[in-house]
Structure formats: C-alpha cells, structure tokens
Amino acid sequence: MLFRATFTVGYTKEAFDVIANTSQHVCEGNSTDILASQNTNIASYLWNDGSSKNFILARSAGKYFVTATFNSGMSAIDSIELIVDKIFPASISGDTTTTIGSNNKYDFSPKVSGLQYSWNIRTTDFGTLSQNTDNSASIQWKTKVGYAALYLNSYKNQCVRIDSILIHIKAKAADTLSINGTVKAGTSFDTDGTVSLYTENDSITPVQTVIVSPNGAFAFNNVILGNYKLLATPNADLSNSYAATYYAKTKYFTKAASITIDGLVTGIDISLVAGSYTSINEITNTWQVYPNPASNYITINNNNEIIERITIYSLDGKMVLQSNDKTISISQLTSGLYKLIIISKTSTSTFMFVKE
C-alpha cells in the first residue's frame, strides 16, 4: 500500500550584526577605525569605499556600509553612521593684568549647547578658582606675584579643546619689595664696594646705596614698584681693574638694560667685568674730563700725557665708543651714566660722566 503525506520545510532567520553599533563618534580632525565582526564564518568583506579588510579608517561624517560574505555563500549588509564632534574655539575675556589679593571673573564665548566646560590654573599657588553656574570662573588671587596661565577645557564625548590666556599678577602699588644679590670680581666675591639703585631715567641721584657685605651680598629694602638701573662700584683694590655689569635673575629674563621691580626679581648677581688692559700704574691722577654732565662733546686734558686710547663703557659693561682724540663727540649716546677709561703711555685712569 502506498501512503502519501505532505509537509512544509521552513527556516527561521537569525539576526546577525556585521557592525556592532549603529553610530560612532570621532573628534574633528581625527580619524577612527570602524570595525566589522571577525566571525570565523565570514569569508570576505567589501566596504562602500572598495576596502576588503574587516575595518576601515574614517574621519568624514556620513554613513558607511559593509557587505560580509559567509563561507556558505550567503551575504549580509550592515551600516554605521559616523558623527564628527566639532568643538569651536572659545574666546576668553577678563583682566590679563591684576594685583595680588584681587578677585577677578573670567568668561568666554561662544557657549555651545551640548558641550561641557571646566577651568584650571597651571599653578594653584597663584590663586583659588571656582566655577560659576554659568560656566564662568572666579579667581581669588593669593599673595604670589608672577604669570599664571588660565585654561578653559571644552568637552564633548571623548573630545577636548583647551584655550588659555596668560595673566600677570603684580604687587599692589602701595606695596614695597626687597631685592638682594651678590657681587663678584672674577671668581671672588667683592667686599666693601657699593651698589646703587637708580630710577630708570635718573643716573645721578641714587634711590638707595648699600655697602657690599664681607660675603659679597647686598640688599635693597622697601623698594616701591617701578623701573630701575643698578651700578656697582668696586672697592678700592678693584676700582681700576673692573667695570660693572648686572644680571637680573628672574624666570623670564637673565639680563636687561633696566629692571622692572614688580616682585618677579628674585635676586641680582652683579659680575664685575675685567677691563681691556692688563696692568695698572698707580700714579697721581692729573687728567681733566669736562664738562660733566655733557650733552654733545667731552674734552680730556693733561698737559704732560699723550693719549693712546680712550674707551667709553655703558653701565652694563658694553663698549660704546673708542677714540684717541682729546675732544670726543658723545651726541650719539643715550642719556645716562658712563665709564670713561683713559690709557696713556704711563697710566690708566677711570672717570664716570653723565650724558644729558
């Protein structure tokens, strides 16, 4: 007997994600890997840009497709959306010059919805920072003077942008400061010499003059804010062998024509620089240098001596003029105090004069 039966053959499709996520983020200007599944049943890949690896390197916003062909010959297509996160530059506003003890507010623009913001100061010794509800920052400055960098960090997902400004924190106008340093002649400390502090535009009347201590140290106290020049006068034993220059030790410069006293100067080392001659004959000084102060010319006179060379140095030890004439034009020199050295066949003499 023959039996006949009917039945239906069917299958249930199992979902398979070739790409795990539907979207992915990347920071503007960067690139990222978009990965497809590395299932061992997949024989090959084909992306919409023609790549046949299991990943592509992408940086542009848009949709990316991949076709995965299995060992069985069947295939599956999947896609992902690449989103580029862009963080616009922020312009920080607020005082870039302030004084110790002040409270300043700093803000920025534009403020973009969807971004997160935070502030920080590179060195917290300068002040205490608090972030306000509108994402601005308030800083209570402490008693340290100098330069502080203020940073604004803008975040979105894994992306961050940093904008910054530099703030100069000065001492208050009513404050006074102390400046100290040492004086050396060659490798030895100068002793019993003097150091004078002049305002930038006055080389005649010192603000303070101090005597160098036995260990070569000196100090100026109660100095008000301003611009100054220094002049070191060596002791008697060195006065005919060395001229003066100075070095200001701060974080931002090592040598300058003048010093701005605002708390940044931590110490000043004055190095007495040897002159251009090697021997000194100690005889009675009969030279005359006039007029002093002088505007256009100075005259050097000694009836019994023949001049071999006259050299003029600025206060920082630089040679600015050289001659062997008894009348010298100084009109090209800037106003200030200068050192004049006269060398003859029998002597070397040193004078200080003021150019008006």
pLDDT 10s digits, 47-99:
998 999 999 999 899 999 999 999 888 889 999 999 998 888 999 999 999 98
Residue extent(s) of CATH 2.60.40.1080 domains in the chain: 91-170
> Residue written as tokens 């030890």?
317
CATH class of 91-170: mainly beta
Distance CA 236, CA 212 (A): 13
Residue extent(s) of CATH 2.60.40.10 domains in the chain: 23-85, 176-274
How is 144-157 classified by DSSP, letter by letter?
--EEEEEEEEEEET
Residue extent(s) of CATH 2.60.40.1930 domains in the chain: 288-355
Higher pLDDT, 22 or 234: 22
Is the pLDDT assigned to residue 261 strictly greater than 80? no
User: In terms of Cα–Cα distance, which of 323, 222, 240 is closest to 280?
Assistant: 240
Neighbours of 233 (CB within 10 A): 19
CATH topology of domain 176-274: Immunoglobulin-like (2.60.40)
Higher pLDDT, 192 or 127: 127
User: In terms of Cα–Cα distance, which of 162, 219, 218 is closest to 27?
Assistant: 162
Q: At the fourth CATH level, which superfamily is domain 288-355?
A: Macroglobulin (MG2) domain (2.60.40.1930)
Residue 84 — left, alpha, or beta (φ > 0 → left; ψ -120 to 50 → alpha)? beta
For residue 110, is the peptide bond before it cis, meaning its omega torsion is within 30 degrees of 0?
Answer: yes
User: In terms of Cα–Cα distance, which of 118, 154, 164, 113 is closest to 28?
Assistant: 154
* Percent of the chain topping pLDDT 70: 72
Backbone torsions φ then ψ of 240, nearest 5 degrees = -95, 0
pLDDT digits (tens, 9 = 90+) for 276-327: 222 222 233 467 788 878 889 998 887 667 788 888 888 767 788 988 888 9
Under 8 Å between Cβ of 166 and 178: no
* pLDDT classification of 266: cutoffs 50, 70, 90: very low
Question: Which pLDDT score is estimated for 7?
Answer: 53
CATH topology of domain 23-85: Immunoglobulin-like (2.60.40)
pLDDT digits (tens, 9 = 90+) for 100-124: 889 999 999 999 988 999 999 977 7
Is the pLDDT assigned to residue 127 strictly greater than 70? yes
Query: Is this prediction's pTM over 0.75?
Result: no
Under 8 Å between Cβ of 274 and 242: yes
